[in-house]
Amino acid sequence: MVRKKQIKQPMSYNRLARQPIEQLFTIFQTSRKGLTEEQAVKARETYGENTFSYGKKPSFLLEMLKAYITPFTLVLIGLGVTSFVTDVVLAAPGERDFFGTSIILLMVLVSGTMTLFQSVRSNQAADKLKSLVKVTALVRRAGHEAEIPMEEIVCGDIVKLSVGDMIPADIRLLATKDLFLSQSALTGESYPVEKQAEAVIHEQAAETTYENMVYMGSNVISGSAEGIVVGTGQGTLFGQVADSLASKPVKTNFELGIHKTSYLFIKFMALMAPTVIVINGLTKGDWMEAFLFGLSVAVGLTPEMLPMIVTTNLVKGATSMAKKGTVIKNLNAIQNFGAIDVLCTDKTGTLTQDKIILEYHLDLLGNEDERVLKHAYLNSYYQTGLKNLLDVAIIEVANEELTIENQHYEKVDEIPFDFERRRMSVVVEDAQGKTQMITKGAIEEMLQVASVVDLQGEIVPLTDEIKQKILKKVCELNEDGLRVIGVAQKTNPRVVGEFSVADESEMVLIGYLAFLDPPKESTKQALETLSRQGVKVKVLTGDNALVTRSVCKQVGLGTETLIMGEELANLSEEELRQEVEQYNVFVKLTPQQKQQVTRALRANGHTVGFLGDGINDAPAMKEADVGISVDTAVDIAKESADVILLEKDLMILERGILAGRETFGNIMKYIKATASSNFGNMFSVLVASIFLPFLPMLPLQILFLNLIYDISCISIPWDHMDEDYLEKPKRWDSSSIGKFMLWFGPTSSIFDITTYALMYFVICPAVVGGSFHTLSPSQQVAFIAVFHAGWFVESLWSQTLVLHALRTPKLPFIQSRGSFVMTTITSLGIVAGTILPFTSLGQNLGLAILPANYWAWLLLTIVAYLLLVTVVKQCYLRRYTELL
């Protein structure tokens, strides 16, 4: 017996939080330069891997049991046990027959093995797809900083944190700057909490309140920090409560649909099987045979391959999406992906290019001014938070146009950006010892903190008149599609080391920067395509109205319907639900308002997808039916997403939505066609049981017919959907399956009954030499064998070919044809069933060779059946508008 390796715990978090920094370095054998690679290997052996699972991963044995033990296979197993008892245990030694039991066992094995295979394959595919999306952390090893995968972090590592980062392990903070975290995953706190490296921890304090500790599972809202890892994987606070956090996820509309469908079939079985048993017992007198036949009818109503077909479709759909640049983290999200009818998206990087250009750096009179660019550069260069596209654009232009000796400046302090202030400040000191605070941010917020302005070197008070002139100039730039931010400074601010948001006051506004965020060339086409496919796009942005209006106008979005976050803040929940339907563009939104808009749309019955890549998008992504992110997004956004786009392009998203709809369509194709065919066959059996003096088909023959048909259905995931079907969002509607069965099931029964009459009154008497009641017992056996063979072949032909008729609302084989794989496999199934009566296996099943004149009648029956199905299909479409 192998013992599980025990993970060493150095001491409690209470003691770790109160230890001096140097003592921590000693405990973990590290320093501010970080671990060497050799030390990291040793730490991993000592303290364990930085991985953990939410609860126990199902074992292979459990996966196997789930595959083989389903409501459908239980019916088969019950029939197999009964067959074994009657045909083997109770039979005379010379009459024991294992054939029936073997066929039933084969069906269970085929269904279960295929389901197990696809289940294992889906898990492997999901793991492989997830591996494409890596969550990393910035770690210092042997004095060098590098981004490494989260799972490679070990105790003793020195980690640097900035805005948008997920906390990769439990960390004791060494240095912090205005660090605010969201700990909602651990504590349920709605508001961010502040953390400080210098905080004094009381012995009685709760672990989650330690101000100098941050924990895996939380994420950085604003600020920056550096710390030493003191807990990894299962040893983290998050790992210890992982089992309790692993609550059963809410079932998606897709999963509920599968369950409702399964129960629908079981209800039909519960009704049909006892009815057939009673009728055959009373009319034939053999209650054991009637019981076996009733069970086989129940099996005939059972889509045994449902779990396997569903899993295969999901895996194939996820693999297909991956090839098109869409990674599915959650397989069950595929159906919701295809069902999206409202797509909420940010503006920057989605509608526009993921590169912002600094067009102008202007003084307050609108003249080019290098001084404004220099101050903006110092602010962007020395900040330690998440450098956004604006910072990158400023630094690029400054490097081209200015000569700035960075060694002449030293950073003193900073006040990081947050989404409430919408500005950030840096304090720098030059070679002469002059200290200045430089702030940049949204114009409205900058006007609030400025008291004076610099007009061509003259410092004058910020009057209402000057403010209006500034806003007018900014408005002109905004109308040209330019995004404008202000730049202000303050010389020799307060005492060093005590800077805070309060210092952002009484500042000198010196100018502004104008950025161009040009739309992508593909955006307009993508929006038009999504609109044609029934997906309404709504823009949810924190940017201002004028810039957003300009961009939306260029890409073809209606800008007459635009609403600001300030207006939304005053609405009740009911009013918000009305307003989200009226407007397509929402501007100046906070992260919470993005979440509220998404929630309101879902409450109105929409299936909502949210495409985002920032920390401010994470709440809305979690609220949406499908959270969509990109592989370049911040960690928390990627973790919040169900779907990851490998390229931030709406055309990629559009292809993913179509793949989701095709996957859903193929699942519904199998369920509806199989349900209606099986129901029709069993309804025919019920009618035949009343009028025929013998069973219309033996239990084993029904099972074998089902086996051939189910194997043919394995090809359905490789079929394609008509382009018309992909044009609209698809939602699971279980009630439509019952309607479909009632419409198309009896249609097939009409021709089953004509086949009964043909075989009973015409073909069988011609082959055997008389009507059934005039024949000897041995001739009656031959009569029954021909009858069974005739109906077996007709049932297989009609049941298989109707798959092609019901897979499309168009004319089958003419206007719409199945894929090569589906056509080939279903054709092989028909060939195998057709030649079965001519083989020894068929004779063991109780089938006889069919006469030549049967085939002409069969062809006439099938053609007439397909024509009637086409007529009924048109009536169904006029009534319900959609087939699948």
Widest Cα–Cα separation across the chain: 122
Catalytic residue, chosen from 87, 157, 346, 710, is 346
Which pLDDT score, from 0 to 100, does residue 50 have?
81
**Percent of the chain whose predicted confidence (pLDDT) is above 70:** 81
pTM over 0.85: no
Domain 357-516 has CATH 3.30.420.40: no
Known active-site residue 346: yes
Burial of residue 843 (number of CB atoms within 10 Å: 0-12, 13-18, 19+): middle
Quote the CA–CA distance of 247 and 239 in Å, as a whole number. 14
Which pLDDT score, from 0 to 100, does residue 157 have?
92
Which pLDDT score, from 0 to 100, does residue 677 have?
79
Domain ranges (residues) in the chain: 13-54+134-245, 258-319+657-880, 327-352+520-646, 357-516
From the CB of residue 178, how many other CB atoms can be counted at a distance below 10 Å?
Answer: 22
Which string of DSSP letters, residue by residue, matches 640-665? H-SEEESS--HHHHHHHHHHHHHHHH
Q: Which has the closest alpha carbon to 425: 489, 364, 494, 360?
A: 489
Which pLDDT score, from 0 to 100, does residue 137 have?
87
Quote the CA–CA distance of 79 and 302 in Å, as a whole number. 13
Phi, psi dihedrals of residue 500, rounded to the nearest 5°: -150, 180
Beta bridge partners of 439: 425, 488
Which pLDDT score, from 0 to 100, does residue 594 have?
86
Quote the CA–CA distance of 694 and 704 in Å, as a whole number. 19
Which pLDDT score, from 0 to 100, does residue 228 have?
92
Superfamily for the 258-319+657-880 domain: Calcium-transporting ATPase, transmembrane domain (1.20.1110.10)
Which pLDDT score, from 0 to 100, does residue 835 have?
92
Q: How far is CA 655 from the centre of its chain?
A: 14
Tokens at 592, concatenated:
């919470």
Superfamily for the 327-352+520-646 domain: HAD superfamily/HAD-like (3.40.50.1000)
Decide which of 2.70.150.10, 1.10.10.10, 3.40.630.30, 3.40.50.2000 is the CATH code for 13-54+134-245: 2.70.150.10
Residues of the chain with pLDDT under 50: 1-6, 54-55, 129, 188, 190, 242-250
**What DSSP state is assigned to residue 365?**
T
Torsion, Cα 741 746 751 755, to 10 degrees, reads: 100
Which pLDDT score, from 0 to 100, does residue 860 have?
93
**What DSSP state is assigned to residue 401?**
H
